[in-house]
Each structure stands twice: as C-alpha cells, then as structure tokens.
C-alpha cells in the first residue's frame, strides 16, 4: 500500500485495521487489545471514516478512483483443484451440503444426516447444475445424470426431468440436453 501510494504521488500516513467481512464469522475470546473490526461493527466503522476530514481530503484527491481503477478483476491466488469425473464421489448432496440424499418415498429423497426431505425434481436439477459447473465440457445425457446422481433417480425419472427442463438436441444415442 505504501509503495502504491508513493507511485501514485500521494504522501499520506497509513493506519491499518484488521477487518472481518464475512457476516457468518465470529471470533471467540478475542484479545481486548486486538484492534479488529467485526462484521457487526462494519457499518458503524465505515460511517465513522466517511465523516472524517481525511475522507473529504481523499475524495478531493481522487485517490479512491485511482485505487478502484487498479483493482484486479481476477484473483491471481484463486486455484481450482484438478479433478476428474472418476475421482468425484457421485450422488446428490443435500441443500445444506452436509450429506448425500437417498430415496425416501415416491418422488422424494431424504438426507441421511439432517433428515431433510426434498422432491426428486429439485434435487436432480440441482445435481445437473453442479455437474455442469464441475464439468462444463461434458454433455448432459440421461445416462450421465443417472450415473452422476448415483441412485437419486431412475433413467425414467431423469429423462422426464430433463425433457421438461432442458432442450433436447440430437437424436437417439447421440441426443443430449441443453439449457433453454
């Protein structure tokens, strides 16, 4: 930050703060001398700095615009782990992501861990979405999705759901489904 300010021609003192922006985060037994800003304090903290004379000076100097222009669009530290279809454990995850769904009663699946029941249709559609995100180059076919959902739906069920939610392309064995 110091280097960047110098490069941009600003000579300003810098104050550092430790800021937690994840609203679900809580640090228990934080040391009292830790000058951290927690999610619940964030709004007040921002309002406080907005109203300082320094903030007015910064606005005049157009520093904010310059910093914004330098924001990286893509995170260079982002790393997507490599994986193959074969390595991936098949099945439909419960919406809470804690466990896999298994057949419960006609048209319903149940989560082994939290007991949540879900309609086969919404569960399989979520499965198809996840499949598409993880393997964007693979085609959506009845067989692939039956395999992907690992017991979540029969061929007949999967075909019905795909036919009514996706557009069918091609014929016979070469047919696959695409988002409408």
Cβ count within 10 A of residue 102 = 14
Does residue 96 belong to the site contacting Zn ion (CB under 5 A)?
Answer: yes
Size of the site for Zn ion (CB under 5 A): 7
CB 137 within 8 A of CB 85: no
Q: Which stretch binds Zn ion (CB under 5 A): 53-61, 111-119, 122-130, 142-150?
A: 111-119
CA atoms within 13 A on the CB side of 101: 28
Task: Check residue 98 for interaction with Zn ion (CB under 5 A).
Answer: yes
Identity of the residue, 54 or 122, whose beta carbon is nearer to Zn ion in the bound complex: 122
Q: Which residue is associated with the tokens 């520093």?
A: 63
Q: Name the one residue in this structure whose structure tokens are 């640090």.
A: 27
Is 92 a binding residue for Zn ion by CB under 5 A? The answer is no
Residue 130: HSE in the Cβ half-sphere, 13 Å Cα cutoff = 19
Does residue 146 interact with Zn ion by CB under 5 A?
no
Query: Applying CB under 5 A, does 122 fall inside the site for Zn ion?
Result: no
- CA 108 to chain centroid: 26
Q: 140 and 178 in contact (C-beta within 8 Å)?
A: yes
Site string for Zn ion, 32-71 (x = CB under 5 A): ----------------------------------------
Cβ atoms of residues 27 and 38 within 8 Å: yes
Q: Which stretch binds Zn ion (CB under 5 A): 2-10, 12-20, 50-58, 94-102?
A: 94-102
Residue 111 CB, nearest distance to Zn ion (Å)? Answer: 3
Chain centroid to Cα 105, Å, comes to 31
Please say which residue, 95 or 121, places its beta carbon nearer to Zn ion: 95
Binding interface with Zn ion (CB under 5 A): 94, 96, 98, 111, 113-114, 116
């Amino acid at each position: 930050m110091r280097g960047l300010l110098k490069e941009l021609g600003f000579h300003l003192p810098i104050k550092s703060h430790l800021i937690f922006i994840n609203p679900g985060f809580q640090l228990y037994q934080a040391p009292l001398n830790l000058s951290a800003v927690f999610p619940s304090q964030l709004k007040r903290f921002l309002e406080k700095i907005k109203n300082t004379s320094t903030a007015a000076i910064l606005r005049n100097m157009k520093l904010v615009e310059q910093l914004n222009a330098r924001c990286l669009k893509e995170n260079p530290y982002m790393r997507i782990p490599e994986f193959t279809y074969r390595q991936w454990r098949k099945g439909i995850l419960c919406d809470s992501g804690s466990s896999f769904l298994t057949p419960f009663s006609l048209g319903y699946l149940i989560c082994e861990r939290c007991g949540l029941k879900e309609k086969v249709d919404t569960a399989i559609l979520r499965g198809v979405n996840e499949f598409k995100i993880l393997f964007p180059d693979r085609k959506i076919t009845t067989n692939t999705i039956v395999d992907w959902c690992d017991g979540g739906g029969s061929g007949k069920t999967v075909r019905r759901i795909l036919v009514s939610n996706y557009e069918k392309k091609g014929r016979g064995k070469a047919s696959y489904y695409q988002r409408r």
